[in-house]
Amino acid sequence: QVQLVQSGAEVKKPGSSVKVSCKASGGTFSSYDISWVRQAPGQGLQWMGGIIPIFATANYAQRFQGRVTLTTDESTSTAYMELRSLRSEDTAVYYCARLIAAAGHFDSWGQGTLVTVSS
Amino acid sequence: EIVLTQSPGTLSLSPGERATLSCRASQSVSSSYLAWYQQKPGQAPRLLIYGASSRATGIPDRFSGSGSGTDFTLTISRLEPEDFAVYYCQQYGETFGQGTKVEIK
């Protein structure tokens, strides 16, 4: 059973950046397809992008292109999501999740990381 | 871009009743890639159904999924107190519906 554990809550100023981590255990990290999904307060789920460590190539949702970077560190089985040029609308809970690529669903989720953007 | 529209927005029901949630796609999608999730306040989403009709590990059989093409349904045969939550449909990773809240009447 895959477990994903995320870093703690962050408070950031508008215009700054945030980097959230997601540490995986149980299974072969390099073959995972890790996506990031965010949820603004009281809102639905929004896919941001995904990355497969063994390929080290990420794909991003159009709306986040140029502002988000996904990376992985295979030595620590950790995935990272960096979001730049933060604005108040980026206040949300950010989740990492493992995508089962053959079927397109997320079978394991991190606990979520609240990022608050406020001056 | 495929858009998933869920209805109703809110479903008010009593424990023991049957819940029927709808997910409509803006164009035909493969049922192999249609999933449903349950989310409770303060928790991450939990996978319920994948491939439109297959229950995920540990999901009770009161949850069932059906549908094809553009119309999909999640049915909860008899609501238990722990089933009151928000439910999302999702198509291949990237696209989520806006959610249906199942609340206690």
pLDDT of B21 above 90: yes
- Between these two residues, A10 and A65, which has the higher pLDDT value? A10
Identify the contact set of chain B against chain A, taking CB-CB distances under 8 A. Answer: 32-33, 35, 37, 44-47, 50-51, 56, 88, 90-99
CA atoms lying within 13 Å on the CB side of residue A96: 27
Q: What is the DSSP letter of B38?
A: E
Q: What local confidence, expressed as pLDDT, does residue A55 receive?
A: 87
Cβ-based contacts of A37 with chain B (< 8 Å): 96
CB contact under 8 A, B93 and A104: yes
Alpha carbon distance B18, B21 (integer Å): 10
Rounded to an integer, the average pLDDT of B18-42 is: 97
Average pLDDT over residues A1-26: 96
Structure tokens at A71: 């990376």
pLDDT at B40 over 90: yes
CB contact under 8 A, A107 and B90: no
Averaged over B18-40, what is the pLDDT?
97
Interface probe, candidates A32, A64, A105, chain B, greatest B C-beta count within 10 A: A105
In 3D space, the residue among A32, A25, A47 whose CA is nearest the CA of residue A94 turns out to be A47
Pairing, β A113-117 against β A10-12 = parallel
Tell me what percent of the residues of chain B surpass a pLDDT of 90. Answer: 96
For residue A55 the two structure tokens come to: 């390929």
3-state helix, strand, coil in chain B (%, to 5): 5, 55, 40
Residues of A in contact with B94 (CB under 8 A): 47, 61
CB B15 within 8 A of CB B79: yes
How many Å apart are CA A83 and CA A20, to the nearest integer?
9
Q: How confident is the model at residue B93 (pLDDT cuts 50, 70, 90)?
A: confident
B3-6 long-range contacts, CB within 8 A, separation 24+: B3/B95, B4/B89, B4/B90, B4/B91, B4/B95, B4/B96, B4/B97, B4/B98, B5/B97, B5/B98, B6/B87, B6/B88, B6/B89, B6/B97, B6/B98, B6/B99, B6/B100
A105, B35: Cβ pair inside 8 Å? yes
The pLDDT value given to residue A1: 81
Measure CB to CB from residue A103 to each of B32, B94, B99 and give the nearest one: B32
